[in-house]
Amino acid sequence: MDFQGASYGVDIMGINQYISDLNTAILTKVSNVIRNTSEVETEVKAGWVGQSADQFLLNLNKAADTMCDTLKELEKTFEAEIKGIKDQMMDFDDTLVDAE
């Protein structure tokens, strides 16, 4: 069945693939870029010394970690919600079949 033309419904295989692709894009690619603060660290260490510089790098890396944790949190929320919606829609389809 082609779901591309459907206005309401779920392509289960498509959802699974989509979530997998999103995991790769968000949890791997975006997170990796966020965690990679090496270029900033190199320039800071080359031109800034002392406690303020250390504090900035600490804040930067902590913020990057928090960002990545939040992305994981968002992804888990999304995945749980999509699973709930899929289950509910399948129940809903079953109910409609029963009604008919």
Partner 1 sequence: MGVIEKVKLGLGKASDWMNGLKDKFTASINKVQGYVGSAFEVAKNGSTFTGINYDSIDKIRGSIRTYVTKIQNELANINSDLSPDKALKGDVAAAAKAYVKAVTDVAEAYVSSLLAYSDKMYEYGEAFRKNEATLTQNVNDEATALSSSAEKYTEKY
Q: Are 12 and 1 in contact (CB under 8 A)?
A: no
Query: Using CB under 8 A, which residues numbered 69 to 98 contact partner 1?
Result: 70-71, 73-75, 77-78, 81-82, 84-86, 88-89, 92, 95-96
Cα 5 off chain centre by? 27
- Here's the x/- map for partner 1, 10-49, by CB under 8 A: it reads as xx--xx-xx--xx--xx--xx--xx-xx-xx-xxx-xxxx
Residues contacting 61, CB < 8 A, separation 6+ = 37
Q: Does 2 bind partner 1 (CB under 8 A)?
A: no
**In the complex, minimum distance from the CB of residue 19 to partner 1, in angstroms, rounded to a whole number:** 9
